[in-house]
Structure 1
Amino acid sequence: MKKTLLLAGASLAIALFSSSAVAGQGFLRAEVGNSEIELDYAGLRDDDSDTSAVFGGGYWFNPNFAIEGHVGTLYNSDLGNDQEADLITVGVGVAGRTHFGPDNTGFFIDGRVGVARLTAQVREDTFDVIDDESSTKPYYGVSVGYDFNPNWGISLNYDRRQGEFDGVDVDVDTVSIGGEWRF
């Protein structure tokens, strides 16, 4: 049994560190879109929407597997009295991609999963945070896009994030357009 586990572990290590895995690419991504926010507190529901901007990056180990991180704003609202409410996301995860063109270009689909920390803030216009609360939960997303060459592509993205703040459940569905530069 130990020999079988050792052999399986060695095979996995060789696959992960083969020449195709080591010859990966770093990437930076920017996404701009619309977030639909749904709040649920003791059965009472409310929703709103706002422009989102998320920036991310990571590393494609090969054309089909990457690790990624992101940070961005999903919602901002003026509360009056020089105060604003913000919903900010920070997350890490993994992504998988399949290309339908030659040499990992052309049309693609991808999916991602990970953990995102949503932070709800109330702050003054001077950037002084008056109150904030955070919630960490899994996130997921899917994309369709087109890679013009091995270093540049665009995509249409859908992401789902959730949070819970003092009994208020928050669901955030974001549809965005993104650009990705690989180096």
Structure 2
Amino acid sequence: MNKILTVALGAVLAAGSASAAAADANGSFFINAGVGQAQYHVGHTDGLGYKLDDKDTAGAVRFGYAWKVGNGFDLGVEGGYADLGKLVAKYHAQNEDASIIINEKADVEASGPLLGVNGKYTFANKWFVSARAGWFRSTADASYRYEEIYADAPNYSEYASGDADGNGWYGGVGVGYNFAPNFSLGLNYDNYHGKAKTDLADIGGSIGVYTVTAEFRF
């Protein structure tokens, strides 16, 4: 995750350094990178004994081209990659004298490429609102560990891991400020609907992500 964000932010800074001129009157290329927090929407585990950590650091990098269509509106296309962090579920139980202890841990990490369209409306010369939507090819990497610890017998454990992918979609909105003709900062909310297909079932889930995003246009 850290390596992906480092490369993404480096690419944004390089693009900004190479582009000292303002965006073309008819449109411009852009590259942006965002860092923030993801929350996996998987329901509640109240009463089941599981401790759920459904929030993690997330990030995305996007690039594309946006056309100026008049009256402050821009319309564009975008491609990129999103890393949505990890969901972790843990379970712990033991009997009264702690002679038998049971531990479970399961985690899943979602990421993948995206391709979509976006729109932006600039008002008061500097402020803007934005929206985007498109295709998200999600990959879910999961692992599961189970162990039984006995005071007077050999311990038992098992471990499994795997990955699955599938076609989903994403959509989001944002607000931001243009500090220069070719540089802006924004606060965005995106919802990624990931899907994964296995031999046993089709699975899916919703992941909401808040990010602070820097964008250069050239």
Tell me if TM exceeds 0.5.
yes
In the TM superposition, residue 72 of structure 1 has moved relative to its aligned partner by 2.2
Structure (1/2) with the larger helix percentage: 1
In the TM superposition, residue 69 of structure 1 has moved relative to its aligned partner by 1.1
* 1:107 and 2:107 correspond: no
Counterpart-to-counterpart distance in 2, 1:134 and 1:84? 16
* 1:28 and 2:31 correspond: yes
State the secondary structure of the residue aligned to 2:36.
Answer: strand
Deviation by residue 1:54-93 (Cα, 9 ceiling, x = unmatched):
11111112251110112021013679xxx97421031111
Q: Which residue of 2 aligns with 1:71?
A: 81
2:58 partner amino acid: S
Matches within 5 A, 1:1-183: 23-39=26-42, 48-62=54-68, 64-76=74-86, 85-102=108-125, 106-122=126-142, 131-165=162-196, 166-183=201-218
In the TM superposition, residue 113 of structure 1 has moved relative to its aligned partner by 1.1
Poorly superposed stretches of 4+, deviation over 2 Å: 76-79, 83-86, 163-169
Relative to 1, partners in 2 of residues 1:113 and 1:78: Cα closer, same or farther, differing over 3 Å? closer
Counterpart-to-counterpart distance in 1, 2:171 and 2:88? 29
Relative to 1, partners in 2 of residues 1:77 and 1:170: Cα closer, same or farther, differing over 3 Å? closer
Q: Which has the greater radius of gyration?
A: 2
Kept in 1: contact 2:185–2:212 (CA 8 A): yes
* TM-score, normalization by structure 2: 0.60
Counterpart-to-counterpart distance in 2, 1:172 and 1:84? 14
Counterpart-to-counterpart distance in 2, 1:141 and 1:121? 24
1:179 partner amino acid: A
State, as a whole percentage, how many aligned pairs show the same letter: 29
Relative to 1, partners in 2 of residues 1:47 and 1:162: Cα closer, same or farther, differing over 3 Å? farther
In the TM superposition, residue 164 of structure 1 has moved relative to its aligned partner by 3.1
In the TM superposition, residue 138 of structure 1 has moved relative to its aligned partner by 2.2
Deviation by residue 1:99-118 (Cα, 9 ceiling, x = unmatched):
0133xxx1100111111111
Counterpart-to-counterpart distance in 2, 1:140 and 1:78? 24
State the secondary structure of the residue aligned to 1:64.
Answer: strand
Return 5+ residue gaps in structure 2 as ranges: 1-23, 90-105, 144-160
